[in-house]
Chains A and B, each alone.
Chain A
Amino acid sequence: MMKGFIDISYVAVAVVFILGLKAMSSPATARKGIVWAGWAMIAATLVTLFWPGMQNFALMIVAMVIGGSLAWWSGKNVAMTDMPQMVAIYNGMGGGAAAAIAAVEFARGEMHGGMVAFLAVLGALIGSVAFSGSCVAYAKLQGIMKKAYRFPAQNQLNIGLAAVVAILGLAIATSEQPGGWAIVLFFVLSLALGVIVTSPIGGADMPVVISLLNAFTGLAVGFEGYVLGNPALVVAGIVVGASGTLLTQLMAKAMNRPITNVLFTPITGEAQGGEAIEGSMREMGALDAAATMRYANKVIIVPGYGMAVAGAQHKVWEMSQLLEEAGVEVVFAIHPVAGRMPGHMNVLLAEAGVPYDKIFDLEEINADFALSDVALVIGANDVVNPTARTDKSSPIYGMPILNADQAQNVIVIKRGKGAGYSGIENALFYKDNCRMLYGSAQEAVGEIIGHVKSMDA
Chain B
Amino acid sequence: MEGIVYLYVFVLAAFTGYEVISRVPVILHTPLMSGSNFIHGVVLIGAMVVMGHADPDSPLQLTLGFFAVLLGAANAAGGYVVTERMLAMFKAGKKKGAE
List A residues at the B interface (Cβ < 8 Å). 13, 17-18, 20-22, 24-28, 30-31, 33-35, 37-38, 41, 44-45, 48-49, 51, 53-57, 59-60, 62-72, 74-76, 78, 80, 83-84, 86-87, 89-91, 93-94, 96-98, 100-101, 103-105, 107-108, 115, 210-211, 214, 217-218, 221-222, 224-226, 228-247, 250-251, 254, 334, 336, 339, 341-344, 346-347, 350-351, 353, 355-357, 359, 361
Contact B36 A218 (CB under 8 A): yes
The answer to whether A25 touches B45, judged by C-beta atoms less than 8 angstroms apart, is no
Q: Which residue of B lies closest to A351 (CB)?
A: B89
**Chain B residues within an 8 Å CB radius of A250:** 24, 29
Contact between chains at A104 and B51 (CB < 8 Å): yes
**Count of residues in B whose CB is under 8 Å from the partner chain:** 87
The distance from the CB of B75 to the nearest CB of chain A, in whole angstroms, is 4
CB of B73 within 8 A of CB of A64, answer yes
CB distance from A420 to the nearest CB of B (A): 20
Choose among B24, B42, B54, B80 the residue that contacts A34 (Cβ–Cβ < 8 A): B80
In the assembled complex, which residues on chain B have CB atoms less than 8 Å from the CB atom of A251? 29
Contact status A93-B40, CB under 8 Å = no
Please name the residue on chain B nearest to A232 by beta carbon.
Answer: B42
B residues less than 8 Å from A44 (CB atoms): 42, 44-45
**B interface secondary structure, majority:** helix
Cα A210 to Cα B70 in complex, Å, equals 21
B62: min CB distance to chain A, Å: 6
Residues in B with CB closer than 8 Å to A31 are 84, 87-88, 90-91
Q: Which residues does B use to contact A, with CB under 8 Å?
A: 1, 3, 6, 9-10, 13-18, 20-56, 58, 60-62, 64-98
Check B71 against A238 for contact (C-beta < 8 Å): no
Can you add 12 more A-B contacts, CB < 8 Å, to A25-B23, A53-B53? A24-B28, A27-B25, A56-B65, A59-B65, A87-B37, A100-B67, A214-B37, A218-B17, A226-B6, A228-B50, A239-B14, A242-B17
Q: Contacts A100-B47, A222-B13, A247-B33 hold; do A94 and B72 have CB atoms under 8 A apart?
A: yes
Instruction: Decide yes or no: A233 and B46 within 8 Å by CB, A83-B34, A107-B64 being known contacts.
Output: yes
| Interface contact A242-B14, CB-CB below 8 Å | yes
Inter-chain contacts of B71 with A (CB < 8 A): 67, 93-94, 96-97, 100
What are 22 pairs between A and B in contact, CB < 8 Å? A34-B83, A38-B38, A45-B76, A51-B52, A54-B52, A56-B62, A71-B76, A94-B71, A97-B67, A103-B64, A104-B68, A214-B37, A228-B46, A230-B49, A235-B9, A237-B13, A239-B16, A243-B36, A244-B36, A334-B27, A343-B31, A355-B95
Given the contacts A71-B73, A243-B18, A246-B18, A235 and B96 also touching, CB distance less than 8 Å: no
Min CB distance, B48 to chain A, in Å? 5
Chain B residues with CB under 8 A of A353: 92
| Chain A residues positioned under 8 Å from B61 (CB to CB) | 104, 107-108
Contact B28 A343 (CB under 8 A): yes
- CB neighbours (8 Å) of A74 from chain B are 78
